[in-house]
Structure 1
Amino acid sequence: MATTITDGVRVSVETVYQPEYSNPGNDHFMFAYRVSIENTGSYAVRLISRHWYIFDSNGAKREVEGEGVVGQQPIIEPGSSHEYVSGCNLKTDMGSMKGEYQMERLMDGMLFDVQIPEFYLVAPYRYN
């Protein structure tokens, strides 16, 4: 599990290869990832947007930006967390992702970026 903390917001990510949605013969490898966002600070925050950097092991790089996560802009109270599952397809059986969330501190509307730690997407047979 990859974890980082920025301004009192802890982001942890776990990944799993999805063989049932992958087609290696056509260079299509599907991965799911579970993100946990925990507010360890003393003020409520809202997740406004996301910005992902996605890397295939062949050197290809993509960027994905958008509002919220899986259609939500959750408010995370102090001591609470928000968890979601999403997915990513690669053209190779190994790659990585990293990025940032833009958050809003609700008490004063201040915007700040929270780092998403780099994590690896690896088909299990690559570990052998």
Structure 2
Amino acid sequence: MVTTITDGVKVSVETIYQPEYSNPANDHFMFAYKVSIENMGNYAVRLLSRHWYIFDSNGAKREVEGEGVVGQQPVIEPGHAHEYVSGCNLKTDMGSMKGEYQMTRLIDNSLFNVQIPEFYLVAPYRMN
């Protein structure tokens, strides 16, 4: 698990290779990732959008932007966390992701960005 804290918001990510949804013969490797977003600050925050940078080990890069996470724009109260699971497919058996969430503090509607730490997507057989 990797973790980072930005402006009182802690983001932790765990990854899992999904062999049942992967097809290595066709360069299709599926990974799931579980994200925990914990509000360590004093004010409620709302996650508005996400911006991902996705890297395959063959040098391919892509960006994904959108509102919320898995169809939600959660409000996270101080001392609470929001968790979700999502997935990413790669054309190689190794890669990485990183990014940021745009959030707002509900007390004054101020916007701020929260870093998502870089994490690696690696098929287990590559880790010998």
| TM-score with structure 2 setting the length | 1.00
- Residue ranges of structure 2 left out of the alignment (5+ in a row): none
Q: What do you get for the CA RMSD once the two structures are aligned?
A: 0.2
Seq. identity, %: 87
Match of residue 30 from structure 1? 30
> TM-score, structure 1 length as denominator?
1.00
Query: Within the alignment, does 1:86 sit opposite 2:95 as a pair?
Result: no
How far apart, CA to CA, are the structure 2 residues paired with 1:127 and 1:103? 35
- Opposite residue 42 of structure 2, the aligned amino acid is S
Segments of 4+ in structure 1 off by > 2 A? none
Aligned positions, number:
128
- 1:120 Cα offset (Å): 0.1
Any residues of structure 2 matched to 1:1-128 within 5 Å, and which?
1-128=1-128
SS in 2 for 1:47: strand
Partner SS for 1:125: helix
Displacement of 1:42:
0.3
CA offsets 1:69-117 (integer angstroms, 9 cap, x no match) = 0000000000000000000000000000000000000000000000000
